[in-house]
Each structure stands twice: as structure tokens, then as C-alpha cells.
Amino acid sequence: MQRFQLDIADSDIQSMRDRLAQTRWPEQLPGTDGWSKGVPVAEAKAWAQELAEFDWRALQDELNALPQWTAEIDGTTIHFVHVRSERDDAVPLLLLHGWPGTVVELIDLIEPLTGPESDGDPAFHVVIPSHPGVGLSGPTTSPGWGVPRTSRAYAALMSQLGYQSYVVQGGDHGAVLAPHLGRVDVQRVRGIHVNAATLGFMPMAEIDEETAGDLSPVEHRRLELISTFLTDGNGYNVIQATRPQTIGYGLEDSPVAQLTWIVEKVEQWTHDPARLTDRHYRDRHLANVLLYWLTRTATSAADNIYAAYGELFADPQTAFADSGVPTAVIAYAEDPSIRRFAERGNTIVRWTDVDDGGHFAALEQPESLVADLRAFVRDLA
């Protein structure tokens, strides 16, 4: 393992700004209703201006104030943040971000997790990796970095750090990885806590009329969310899953392409529109855009996350088998997870439905996310 410090070159920022200034903007499509056909041109220009003016030095200083490391595991570099609590009874926690996030998505959780105000609340030693091929881990140079291999690498990382048992928390892609940590490292994973859970936590095929008739209003709404996603919100998924190389040319050559590719999802997956005007919230997403841009990892991220999901469905009974590890789900307003389907492949011991929040829970609802994780871990003790 080696210590890591982020060192952004002025020339890289200037190059990005030059490209932003030279953008060939499309005309706004006539008759377009809001975001229905993608990011409106006026919104894209506003976000691009903010990216050009983004305080990247403050981001660099913030990240470099954290203990960061890189480890060579199974032939690839994995970057991670590792912050130990001062509490002797702290629980090791592997904290996993989603897409289109990076470690930046989770760093606001570090302080409340490592140093809770109440002695009655669990404290945590926090490990936040950048997924292989994503952000500060840099592009992967070998194929096969899907969920199983990544999970094994994280199990090896926690072993190298000396943790004989640990809890895993993840959202979105992190919520796909977290249950697999339980499958590949069942002797050491004490518990799994997820939000923005999809694969393995919702119906994987059409449901029959009898089951549909037995669903609660909340569950019916989540089925509607799934249906809307599959018909109107799934294009990015299909493109990244089937043609990651092709989409990579645009994302790695044009900062506006990378920006709008992410900003569309920020707007679509944020539950409270007021969050989109919050300076800190916008800056965290701009930081994610900047890290993808500077590390040139949009292509490898698409390949390792979306294209690699296909291997899970080659043998779904094995890929989504129940490890028996106690699992908790916090389902926010925009989450499609449904308990009765999640229980088919997970040992659910806690389920919390929330009427607020969306995909980016660590940024939208950090207090409730941390509180639910604490309550889960307290019950594990």
C-alpha cells in the first residue's frame, strides 16, 4: 500500500476550460417539455459555467486532508480513503459509492460515522474505495472487473487492513456489490446495509396478477417507478452496457458530454427539486464530473459496472443466492426495492421505508442514512 495525494495540474484544468469554451452547442429542440428529451441547452450552459469556475483547489485540499491510499490487488490499482475512529469499540465499515458517483459522494458521512456525538451510538472505522476503473483508482488495464471480482478485491483489501470482521454499506452499484461481499466473505461480513438497491432487491421479471393484487400502495408505486425507468429512463444503461467503448469517445473528449451525461441523472434521480439549487449539493456533483474527467475513467466505469452486469444474469441463482448475512434496507422515495422480492436472495432483518430522498441519499438524506445504519449495527451487537 502507498499513501496517495491528489495532485491536479493547472494545465489539466485550463485544458478543460478551453474545451468548455469551444463547445459547439446544439440548438434546443423545438416543442421540448423541460428535461423530457435530455438536458435543456440553457441548463447545460449554466452547469458548464459552474464547472469552469469550480474551486478545484478546495476539492484537492479537502481530499488531501483525508488519509488516502492505493493498493495493488489482483493486478489493478484501488484507491481508498481510510479514516479510523478514536473509539476503541468502533466497527469496521466498508462504504461503497454508486454511479455516477465517486468517493466524493460519501466523504460527508465520515465525520458523523467516525465520531458520533453520543457514546450510545456505534462508531466506525471507515473505508471508502474508488471502484476499479472509476475515479481515483484510474482506468483498469485488464478485463473482468465485474461484481464478483471487485467483491473479492474488497474482501482482500479489508483483510490487508487487518479487519477480521466488518459491515458493508452501499448505494446503487454499491448496493449490488455489498450483498456479494457477504457471499464471497461470509465468515467476516457481519452485516449488509443498502440504499438505492436494485438488482436482487426488486422483481427481475414480470409479476403475476395474484402477486400484483397483494401489493401495498407503496409497492405498487415502486413497480410504477420500475416501469417508468425501463421505458423512459434506461437509455444510458443500455448504451453503457452494450457499447461502453463507443460512448467513451464522447465522454473522454468533451467535458460537456461528460457533464451532461451525469447532470441528467442528477436532475432525474434527485427527489427534492430544492436540492438542485443547493450550492453544496451541486458542488459535490461537479466534483464527481471533474474526477471522471481528470482520471479519464468514464469508459472503464461503464465497462466494469454496466457491461459487466451481464455475467450476473448468466447464472442468477448463484449470483443472487442468499448468503445468510443479516441485511438491512433503507428504501427512499425514489428507490424501487420491494421487500417480498428482496427476501428471495437476502436475509432481511430490517426494512425502513422513507417518503423522502432519492438516489443520492448520502447527499440528500445523510442524517437518516447514518441513523438507520447505526440502528442496524446496534441491533447486530
Has residue 7 been placed in a domain? no
- Model pLDDT for residues 137-175, shown as the tens digit of each residue: 999 999 999 999 999 999 999 999 999 999 999 999 999
Has residue 270 been placed in a domain? yes
How many domains does one find in the chain? 1
Has residue 31 been placed in a domain? no
pLDDT at 205 over 90: no
pLDDT band at 76 (very low <50, low <70, confident <90, very high): very high
Backbone angles phi, psi at 350, to 5 degrees: -150, 135
* Type of residue numbered 221: R
pLDDT at 206 over 90: no
CATH code at position 193: 3.40.50.1820
Looking at residue 339, its pLDDT comes to 96
pLDDT at 344 over 80: yes
The pairing of strands 76-83 and 124-129 is antiparallel
Has residue 1 been placed in a domain? no
pLDDT at 78 over 90: yes
Looking at residue 209, its pLDDT comes to 85
Residue 79 burial (C-beta neighbours within 10 Å; 0-12, 13-18, 19+) = buried
Rounded to whole angstroms, how far apart are CA atoms 38 and 261? 9
Has residue 21 been placed in a domain? no
* Type of residue numbered 354: V
Where is average pLDDT lowest: 147-151, 226-230, 286-290, 368-372? 226-230
pLDDT band at 33 (very low <50, low <70, confident <90, very high): confident
- Model pLDDT for residues 297-317, shown as the tens digit of each residue: 999 999 999 999 999 999 998
Percentage of the residues of the chain whose pLDDT score is greater than 90: 94
Rounded to whole angstroms, how far apart are CA atoms 353 and 80? 30
Has residue 355 been placed in a domain? yes
- Model pLDDT for residues 209-241, shown as the tens digit of each residue: 888 889 999 999 999 999 999 999 999 999 999
Question: Who's near 47: CB < 8 A, 6+ residues apart?
Answer: 39, 259, 260, 263, 286
- Model pLDDT for residues 56-65, shown as the tens digit of each residue: 999 999 999 9
pLDDT at 284 over 80: yes
Backbone angles phi, psi at 2, to 5 degrees: -130, 145
Q: Which domain holds residue 218?
A: 38-380
Residue 160: how many other CB atoms lie within 10 Å:
11
pLDDT band at 125 (very low <50, low <70, confident <90, very high): very high
Has residue 345 been placed in a domain? yes
Residue 241 burial (C-beta neighbours within 10 Å; 0-12, 13-18, 19+) = middle
Looking at residue 210, its pLDDT comes to 86
C-alpha cell at 43: 441548463
Computed over every residue of the chain, the mean pLDDT equals: 96
